[in-house]
Every structure is written in structure tokens, then in C-alpha cells.
Amino acid sequence: MKVYIAKNCGFCSGVRKAVDTAFSVPAENTYILGELIHNEDVNARIRERGIPTVESLAEVPDGARLLIRSHGVPKAVYARCEARGIKVIDCTCKFVANSQHIVELESKAGKVIAITGHREHPEVVGLIGWSEGEVYVFSSEEDDFTCLSGKNVVLLSQTTFSTQRFSKIAEKIKKVCPKTVEIFETICYTTVRRQRETARVAQQSDAILVIGGLNSSNTNKLAEIASPYCKTVIRLKNADDFVYEKIKFCKRVGIVAGASTPDWQTSEVLKKMAENNAEVQVETQVSEETVETPVAEVAAEPEAAPAAEPVAQPAAEAAPAEAPAQEKSAMDEVIAEMDKGSHYKRGQLLTVKIVSATDEGIYVSGSGKADILIDKSELDCEEYSRELYADKIGENIDVMVVDTKSPVKLSEKQVRKVKEEEEMLKGIEEGNEFSVICTGFNKGGLTAELGTYAVFVPAREIRSGYVKELDKMVGKKLRLKMLEIRRERRKEIIASQRVILEAEKAAREAAKAEKEAAFFDSIQVGDIVEGKVERVTSFGAFVSVNGFDCLAHISDLSWTGVKEVTDVLEIGKRYQFKVLKIDRENKKVSIGYKQLQPRPWDTAAERYAEGDIVHGKVVRIVPFGAFVEL
């Protein structure tokens, strides 16, 4: 018997992120809103961790942690969580989040939202909750679409919906509103790939096993896609549903699994097959790139499928009459590989029990049958002592998976580092400033490192204005604030220095404006003020009065007139001046020095008497006489 396993079999990236998160976050005071994924066995394991599933926010205490599943939730849920101090751990699939953004944006623009999918599906329920206007949900091309007539419509789909059915519904809607419908193809590419591979595997098989939760929409869709090509489609929730007698006369058996099906469930089905048939040969089937027939076309014309004629396969080499006992079969290798991948993931946090202590380190109980050695260099202690840890046998410790290659490597020390890093990141997420040294650059901006996180500063976020030579920033200290933290595949902080610089500039300008306002409120024309001469020009002197620059024009320095400001005033010295003019709108104040000095003609009577003979300088002659300076 040959077994064909679809290459894209099991968890998609969105589901894997949600499940990994559920198994890594602290269980205490953590809740999940709705079933995390459509798989009863996985959900049961999560509940065993101590994380309950709730159907309503009313069941979540204030200040608790709430994990949002990959299907997403209505927008209002986030606002209610924020109001109650509930910390949201958002595992919404990136494709679903994109659909939510489309619904929100287009509905705000006044457009009607049309969604292909199942109205009761949690993803669709969530999408409806992001709309600010009319929403219609269609699940079949037989639905009535006249409700959309004459309206500006945006059409998108549940990410796990049938590509064939979406195309048919789209054609019907285009006939109802031919010029007013905009179509977004939001079905996840993983879903499309999985559906195409299912069609291909089904064509090659006498029977096909479709594994996954019975309430999983995308898994049920795989069974529907397989049925035109394969007479025997067997729907399995898990290995408990598998009955070998149903396939024992088949020469070719296909296996596909939904996006919510963990590898270990597929592995358990394979093990059952191996127990009943020692001659099982396993082949991993083709990926999307080699599938030529789109699912939509295949499903539309099932009679064209070569279901009656098996696809030719390369002849397998004859097995030796008596294989050595130690030689592993293809089935053994597949099962071993799936087992290995299903247990651990790099960065995963585990709670393990100490079972023994040696000179090299300690042994702890893992998820498999064999105990795992933690090297003493990876233990969180100042100096390792076998006797110290021997006294701790039976105690639980928290560790992190640092290497999944056999034998798996665990570290207690890394847990502390992660906790310290997360504490630091908590402050960063709350808006605290942090500093890094720029280590590199690329076309888009600057790069740096902060612990295990990569830091990226887009070029537009370095400072206000264009930064031409990014290479000159390498080695310089950057003061940053977080724009976004990504924790999915590559841990990365997107940050900005510009927001800090602009905030500081705004603060300086605000302080300056406040100071100026206080200054103008404190003076009026005629006041006598004291100021320090800061600088001189050809037309006067700038004098600092209570920190504000005022102008003493050269014409207001002396009653007799001067050629140079420095003939009267000295830079750095303080003098008294009289306020002559205030222009608050243009932030100008004119002051005079001579106005506080005696006028020469006022003292002339005291200095000169009638009949005195004096010497003077003729300064100008006019028709009626001459002006003489004394």
C-alpha cells in the first residue's frame, strides 16, 4: 500500500502562532475568547494547561490576559478590553487582519460590504464587527443578490472559503452591480494551495483520509473538494475514528489535513496504518507549484477527472526477502520526523521536573519517554553543584527550548534573560524611550540590535527631513521610541527617533511661547527695564530683558547722535532702558537708552549765561542762520 501525504498538511502559520502562544503564555489569569482552533483535541490540551475557554467577555475578570484566536474578533472587543484593563494577546491571523482592515476602511467610505463565507463562522462574525455600515453574507451562488443592486459594493471572502464558490458568487454579484463592485481576493494562499493539493492527491488515490476537527470549515472543504475525484473519502476527527478495514483493499491512500490539524494527529493515523500493514510506503506529495489544474476548474467539471485511471507511479524497488531488523521503513522515518517536529519548537517555554543530577548537569522529564539532559552551563545558578540540585529532585523548573535538533537542548538561564527582556519590552511598549547603537543600514533605513530583537529605524523616522548619507549614522547612538513590535517569525522592533526629536522641539517651542507670553504680560510702554547688551549691529543693539531680545535703535542711544553703538554701550554690560514700543503680534519690543539721559538743551541754561563767550562747531548752515554744536 502506498500512502500519499500532502506537503501542506496540518497547521497553517496563523494557527501555529495561536497554538504556540497558548502553550507558552503563563496559564494563570489567562483566558481564550472562543475555541482557539477548530480541533477538539488541541483545545482539550490547552484547557489541561489551566487556560479556560470563555464565550463572553463578561466571563473574563478585569486585569486578566485574553488570547484572541486566529479567526479574529469584532473591533468593539478591543475597546471593551482596554476599558477594563484586560491585556490582549492578539493572535489574529495576518490574512484575517488584512480583511478586517479592508472592511473598516471601505465601510467608512460609505461602501456596502459583501462577504462570502458562513455567517456563523467566527471569522465572519469578527469581520462584520469591523464594519460601520451595511454588511451582507453570502454562502452560495444560489443566494439572492438583488439587495446589492445600485449600491457601491466591496466583495471579500472568509479566508478559508472555497475558491470555486467565491468565483461563482463574484460573477453573480458583477451581474447585479456591474460597475459598482470592487473585489478583494482575501482567501488565504495557504488555503488555495491546500485545496489544490487535495485535488491532486485525490486523483491519485483509491481512498483519501481527511483529518481534522469535525467543526473545521477548511477541513470539511477539503473533503468536499476530494469527493469528485475519489470514490472513498473518509472524514476523521483523529486516529480514534480510523478503521483499517475501510482501506485494506486499497493500493493507494491519500492523506490530507486541515489548517487546524496538528502533526501528531496525522502521525497517530500513520501509526495505526503501520500497525495493520507492515508494507506501507509513504510519499510526500507535490506542493502547489506542480499542481496544474485549479480547484475551481476541477470542481466545476468532475467528469473530466481521471478518477477511474490511476496515475502512474515510478516502480518501487523490490524489497529484500528478509530486511535487517535495524533498518527503518519509510513509514518509520515519516513518523519519527513528525514526532520530532510535534514536540518542541525553538523558543518554546516548558515546565519540566528534575529527575536526577550528574556532574554534567541535570536530567528532566520531557514530553517523550526519554529524559533530557540540561547542561550545567544552561542552569540559572552562580556555580553548579550536583549536591544542590540533587536536593531539588522532584521540583519543577521553567526552561526554554534553544535547539530542536536531537538531542533537544533546554536552558533555564535563557528563561531569566527572556523575562528580563520582556520586562524591558513592556516599558518600551508603554512608550518609554530606549537607546541603541546603529550597527548597519540598508536602502530603507538603519539597523541595530536590542537583546534578541532586531531594531529597524525607517529612513523617514531618523529625524525631520531627508537623511541623505545613512552610512554616516553607523556607530552613532540612536534615541528611539517604538512604533511596532513584531514577535512572529523574526523578533523585530520598528522604532523612530524623529518622534522624540519632534516632541522635544515642540516642548521647547511651547516653553518659549509660554515665556514670551509671560514677558509681554509683564511690560508696557513707558516701563523702565534693565537688560544686558548681547550683540550690536550697525543699526543698534540687541538687549536681553528677562530673556527676551529687545532692540535699542542707534537713534535712541544718544541725544547728540552717534556713529557707532559701542561709543555708548559695551557688550556684556547691563544698563537701564525705557520701553518705547511693543509689537506683540510680531514679537518685537523697542527700547531707548537716551530717554533716561538728560537732554543737553535742558541743562544749557545751567551751564551758559547771556553774554558768555563760548567756542562751538558749526554743524550746518541754513538761509536763516547757522547751527552750532556746543
| Residues of the chain where predicted confidence (pLDDT) is lower than 50 | 286-335, 337-342, 369
Annotated binding-site residue? 93: yes
Annotated binding-site residue? 342: no
Q: How far apart are CA 581 and CA 324, in angstroms?
A: 108
The answer to whether residue 610 is catalytic is no
Residue 278: the pLDDT is: 60
- Amino acid, res. 154: V
Residue 33: the pLDDT is: 92
Classify domain 343-417 at the CATH class level.
mainly beta
**Residue 228, all three cell numbers:** 469528485
Residue 608: the pLDDT is: 82
Percent of residues, the chain, with pLDDT higher than 90: 44
Closest CA to 126 of 96, 155, 84: 96
The C-alpha cell 461602501 sits at 111
Annotated binding-site residue? 216: yes
**Residue 248, all three cell numbers:** 485494506
Strand ranges, E, within 498-616 = 528-537, 540-545, 548-553, 574-583, 588-592
Residue 469: the pLDDT is: 86
Which residues is 542 bridged to in the sheet?
Answer: 535, 551
Backbone φ and ψ of 372, nearest 5°: -115, 135
Q: Which fold, 13-156?
A: Rossmann fold (3.40.50)
Residue 309: the pLDDT is: 32
- Amino acid, res. 570: E
Per-residue model confidence as pLDDT tens digits over 255-269: 999 888 888 888 888
Annotated binding-site residue? 159: yes
CA-to-CA dists, residue 303 to 107, 166, 222, angstroms: 42, 21, 18
Q: How far apart are CA 148 and CA 177, in angstroms?
A: 7
Question: How many beta carbons lie within 10 A of that of residue 299, not counting itself?
Answer: 21
This model's pTM is above 0.85? no
Which one is catalytic: 35, 106, 123, 378? 123
Q: SS3 letters for 367-421?
A: CCCCEEEEEHHHCCCCCCCHHHHHCCCCCEEEEEEEECCCCCEEECHHHHHHHHH
Per-residue model confidence as pLDDT tens digits over 310-339: 333 333 333 333 333 434 444 444 445 444
Domain residues of the chain, as ranges? Answer: 13-156, 343-417, 600-629
Annotated binding-site residue? 12: yes
**Residue 159, all three cell numbers:** 479566508
Per-residue model confidence as pLDDT tens digits over 435-480: 999 999 888 899 999 887 889 999 999 998 888 889 889 999 999 9
